[in-house]
Structure 1
């Protein structure tokens, strides 16, 4: 069971015990982490689960996937090379300690 830390734009940390196999968006929504909405339900059709992967984790998580995730992030304010849609990050035991930062707004 990986422990994921979400950090809001205001610097507030929310630590969540996630289930293996769920997405980082599902874990945040089910634990009511403010700032992750997941309006599209996890199909990469919106930017309401945009996160920045901590630099120390990017090699393990990887960059945004080509296609729909990269295209959606191109429409998202504040996208960087560290940006991912949390709905596209499938969690497992290897993600224990993952640190995700959230932008001020999600849309």
Structure 2
């Protein structure tokens, strides 16, 4: 299991264990974390699972593919360095300790 911290826009933290092989979005969904809507169910087609990755994690994640980059154009206040779609981050043991913060709203 990988321990992931989800931080709501108001600062409320949710620390949960997520099974490797799931996505960070599925971890939020399965644990009832508010703020990640995932309207498309993880198909990288809506940008409603947008988060800001903690600065210390930004370079540790696999790079964004072209589809994720394109969808982030539709996200609320994207940050070129830290914005990610949680449906595109596959959980591994190496992500133990990952911290993500939700934006003020999802578009």
TM range (shorter): over 0.9
Q: CA deviation at 1:77?
A: 1.8
Q: How does 1:1-107 map to 2 (within 5 A)?
A: 1-65=1-65, 67-80=66-79, 81-107=81-107
Residue aligned with 2:60, SS: helix
Whether the 8 Å contact between 1:63 and 1:83 is mirrored in structure 2 is no
* CA RMSD, Structure 1 to Structure 2 (Å): 0.9
Give the gaps of 5 or more residues in structure 1: none
d(CA) in 2 for partners of 1:31, 1:10: 18
Residue aligned with 2:37, SS: coil
Aligned residues: 106
Deviation by residue 1:10-39 (Cα, 9 ceiling, x = unmatched): 000011100000000000001000001111
Q: TM-score, normalization: structure 2?
A: 0.95
d(CA) in 2 for partners of 1:84, 1:64: 8
d(CA) in 2 for partners of 1:58, 1:76: 17
Give the gaps of 5 or more residues in structure 2: none
